[in-house]
Amino acid sequence: MEGGGSERQLLYLLKGLDRTVFEPSLYLLRATGQLLEQIPSDCPVSDFWTGRTRPKLNWPGRIYKQQVQHLAQHIRNHGIQVVYDRLFHMTMISGPACLQSRCARVSTIVSPPQFDVQRTENRWRWIKRRCLAKAYASSQALLSVSQGTALASAKYYRIPGQRFEVVMSPIDTKTIEAKSMSAIEFPGWSNSVKNIVAVGRLGAEKGHADLIEAFALLVQKRGKQFHLHIAGEGSLRENLEGLIAKLNVSDCAFLHGYVANPYPLLKHADLMVLPSRYEGLPNVMLEAMLCGCPVLATNTEQGAGEYLRQYPLGDLVPIGNIPLMLERMENCFDQPAKWKTRAQVAYHHVRQHHDLDRWIQRVSEILLRVSGTPVPGNPVP
């Protein structure tokens, strides 16, 4: 339960499910992560690795088979009626486990698989793709965070497009707005300069190197009247630190690591940049809009690109186009009134279209539907 978007969505669901209708529990592969302490006290947590060690003889598929069997037995032992999974690593386990235990399942695809699976799964990729296609096809409800991700997934897994239901990501507006009022206590923050913020895992798909290069060009061109703040942790941290030093911006570009509360950064920043190579529907973009922060994002096929092409609430630049990213950052600082006006429109849009209570209600109805439980207030057919 790290601080990623999907983990937070699960936390929203665990907190928001009506306890007169549901008895939620959480199953993980490893019971680790910053969000564990926020799981409701009435929600039991189980995991695969507690009390286990990796076998000395580990032939391909051995651990995977054990994980499937462990989850299937867990479902039977606890009388679970419906499983909800997010992220393809868990779907690959929950799919066959639910078939074995004859349990209904709701599965959500959060990122376009031609990038997410294709780029991250190098070993036995074709087998994993086949397993995932079978797992998604066998779910009783198949959800996607955007229409573009649904279309990409239908093509990649050869699943009929009509199987997908688009359920856009929610935003916990009350919590975020309250947390955004906290004081900013980050190294390098100064209200006397223009502050650019990026929030996300430090992985290649997030494109932070492109942003750092564009920022260095901005500083070179217009002086050190700008600061760049990147909140997030990941495998590329050392590489990005090296790039910052190489480009001579160590005194104005800061890697803050994992930040439990990034919302003051977004509230007080002059610009939030999302330089991703691909995305599903980035929560941080919606959160920045809720905090009233102007948004500049890459024109991804799905994700921010898809969203901002449909709703022109932020600026888009081609993926990896560093000169144009520089140009649009300059435009934001040269014409702040135009960007702030658009940010105000974006704020109201997010509040209207990404309400957390409506999302919980819709997911709840889907869970009840696939489990064969009558929806409260609806007549039994």
**How sure is the predictor about 378, in pLDDT bands with cuts at 50, 70 and 90?**
low
pLDDT tens-digit series, residues 301-312: 888 999 999 999
Confidence (pLDDT) at 380: 38
Residue 379 has pLDDT above 60, yes or no: no
Angle 128-133-137 from CA coordinates, rounded to 5°: 150
Q: What is the mean pLDDT of the chain?
A: 91
On the question of a common fold for 5-170+356-371 and 174-353, the answer reads: yes
pLDDT at 302: 84
**206-245 confidence digits (pLDDT tens):** 999 999 999 999 999 999 899 999 999 988 999 999 999 9
Place of tokens 């499983």: 83
Exposure b/e, 67-106, CB count within 10 A at least 16 = b? bbebbbebbeeeebbbbbbbbbebbbbbbbbbeebebbbb
Domain 174-353, CATH among 3.40.50.2000, 3.90.1280.10, 1.10.510.10, 3.40.50.300:
3.40.50.2000
Q: What is the C-alpha separation between 58 and 253, in angstroms, rounded? A: 43
The Cα 46–Cα 78 span in angstroms is 11
pLDDT of 213: 98
Q: What is the 3-state secondary structure (H, E, C) of 72-93?
A: HHHHHHCCCCEEEEECHHHHHH
Closest to 107 measured CA to CA, from 376, 360, 363: 363
Using alpha carbons, select from 90, 114, 91, 87 the residue that is nearest to residue 302: 114
Average pLDDT over residues 324-341: 97
Half-sphere exposure of 228 (CA within 13 A, CB side): 28
Max CA-CA distance within the chain? 69
Above 90 in pLDDT, residue 185? no
Tell me the two tokens of residue 184: 């900013």
**Digit-coded pLDDT (tens) for 87-120:** 888 999 999 999 999 999 999 998 888 776 655 5
- Band of residue 58 on the pLDDT scale cut at 50, 70, 90: confident
CATH topology of domain 5-170+356-371: Rossmann fold (3.40.50)
Q: What is the pLDDT of residue 199?
A: 94
In sequence order, the 6+-apart residues with CB closer than 8 A to the CB of 221 are 326, 330
Measured CA to CA, the distance from residue 94 to residue 89 in angstroms comes to 9
Q: How confident is the model at residue 117, as a pLDDT? A: 67
Distance in angstroms (rounded) separating the CA atoms of residues 376 and 80: 19
pLDDT-derived band at 34 (thresholds 50, 70, 90) equals confident
d(CA 283, CA 353): 13
- Burial readout 302-311 (b: 16 or more C-beta within 10 A, e: otherwise): bbbbbbbeee
Residue 121 binned pLDDT confidence (cut-offs 50, 70, 90): low
**Rounded Cα gap, residues 364 and 190, in angstroms:** 44
Task: To the nearest 10°, report the CA torsion of 364, 1, 104, 72.
Answer: -150
Q: How far apart are CA 279 and CA 237, in angstroms?
A: 20
Which of these ranges, 115-124, 144-153, 253-262, has the smallest mean pLDDT?
Answer: 115-124
pLDDT at 76 over 50: yes
Q: What is the pLDDT of residue 113?
A: 83
The pLDDT value recorded for residue 375 is 61
**Mean pLDDT within 166-189:** 90
Work out whether strand 104-109 and strand 141-144 pair parallel, antiparallel, or are unpaired: parallel
Global pTM value = 0.80
3-state secondary structure of 96: helix
Domain ranges of the chain: 5-170+356-371, 174-353
Q: What is the DSSP string of 195-254?
A: EEEEES--SGGG-HHHHHHHHHHHHHHH-S-EEEEEEB--TTHHHHHHHHHHTT-TTTEE
Q: Which two tokens stand for residue 120?
A: 């991250």
